Amino acid sequence: MIGCTIPRASASRKSRIALLARSEPAAAAAARAGSVLVAAVWRARFCAVCWRPRASPPRFAARRRCGVPLPFEPEREEALAFAEREEELAFAEREEELALAERAVPLAPERLVRALLDLRAGARFLPPLAPDPREEPLLEVAIQISSFDARWQPIARRAQDGDRAPNPRRALAIAYDPEVTRHFLTGEELEDDELGGLIERSLELKRDRHASRALAGRSVALIFDRPSTRTRISFEVGVHELDGHPIVLREGELQLSRGESARDTALVLSRYVDAIGVRTGPHALVEELAEAASVPVVNMLTRDHHPCQVLADLLTLRERFGELRGLKLAYVGDGNNVAHSLMVLGAAAGVHVAVATPPELAPHPLVPQVAGAAAAGEGAISLTTDPAAAAADAHAVYTDVWVSMGDEEGAAERRALLEPYRLDEILLERARPDAIVLHCLPAHPGEEISRGLLYGERSAVWDQAENRLHAQKALLELLVAAP
């Protein structure tokens, strides 16, 4: 059949969904949403082999093939084998998928996809999700779909890899289609098994800092709109140790400061460099750059998310306790970007993240909702206003500065609100006897943390700072290096 599109056996689910965009306008949005179930809704309307519209859409039951001969036998065999794997993968998820699909199908497809995209966008602080009360059933289905996706996508990938036990070294290479540009903006981009592989690779790179030349002959643009110590040095040194060339661009050195759009900047930088790192204030900027860039964009820090810091935090916990799943991490203080990223990545790693903040400084309400839906294993999110309750039986107690850059105007009010949330010896007594102290720095001893804990024997703060280097090197290997 001329023009029949045969998906490669190794193609990612997202790239396969994108093929539907030729025939179904809303499918393009489904591809952006990256949803297993939304894909299933359209999959029932199109052939699993050639992706052409079915003559008569089947009921939600076992998928049918069009049966049209393909021009070359090897391609036909590959296509049929691909469809067989799809059927096998579908068997395990079918019962739940059907139940959700029955609820999803009567809804307008475009509205359902919009709800999914809004749900993800709300967690990333693009237009916040503010549904009409009449849309609550739609939102409920969207949240269930998001939870379904988070649980089944890693299983599908492992099955596609031949049902072998996950190998941390291979996990970084098998998770996604290498032809699809990957970004790292909030941490949601990593699946739980992939995150585990990245942490294990970080340990290897820490043991031998010059073991990898993954960026040989490559350049990485590092854009800094704000002053930086750890982020600037760890990324610049990391790119160099991977045998790449870091290009540091400080505030005012790009035409962005004179009104050039983020889109134009991304289009130009994509022609020069192999990745773009951004440390800035508004999270919308990294989203806009990623939307237009054809190379990976890494969020080195924004006001809403700090995922690179949390990769280092998880590596520190892994070093100290031997594994991540089943640990409890207590965060006390401001519900800021670090708190957001701890919830997103911590829960995905199987960690129970307990967050204690004043009500006035609570995290964005959608972040724990999305993070909880994607939690793996024993991963969980709990929110409280009581720092002692959060610290109870914790393996680690974590805090951050009370007044971040941009919060100076309300500094006195913030300090008054956060005074009961100081990390000191009394609060640490509520944690486990072997609990460690974490702080992402810079610290203000005597304010958010006592001097005795910051510099004491239970402090893992300096390991935490060093681990920025190793975790970010593993991240760059994953995003930039060729498979």
List the catalytic residues.
279, 306, 309, 400, 440, 468
Dihedral sign, CA of 168, 174, 179, 183? Answer: negative
Cα–Cα distance for residue pair 171/161, rounded to 1 Å = 10
Instruction: Report the candidate in 382, 405, 369, 380 with the shortest Cα–Cα distance to residue 332.
Output: 382
Q: What would the two tokens of residue 65 be?
A: 């093939």
Q: What would the two tokens of residue 268 be?
A: 């130009």
Cα–Cα distance for residue pair 454/324, rounded to 1 Å = 23
Cα–Cα distance for residue pair 213/206, rounded to 1 Å = 14
- What are the residues whose beta carbons fall under 8 Å from the beta carbon of 451, sequence distance 6 or more? 445
Amino acid (one-letter) located at 110: E
What phi and psi, each to the nearest 5 degrees, are found at residue 330?
Answer: -100, 130
Answer for the pair 209, 241: CB distance below 8 angstroms, yes or no. Answer: yes
Cα–Cα distance for residue pair 222/447, rounded to 1 Å = 32
Q: Kindly write down the DSSP assignment for every residue of 412-442, as one continuous string.
A: HHHHHHHGGG-B-HHHHTTS-TT-EEEE-S-
What Rg value do the Cα atoms of the chain yield, rounded? 23
Q: Where are the beta strands (DSSP E) in 65-138?
A: none
Q: What would the two tokens of residue 336 be?
A: 């800021």
Q: N- to C-terminal Cα distance for the chain?
A: 32
- Provide the CA 424 distance to its chain's centre, in angstroms: 31
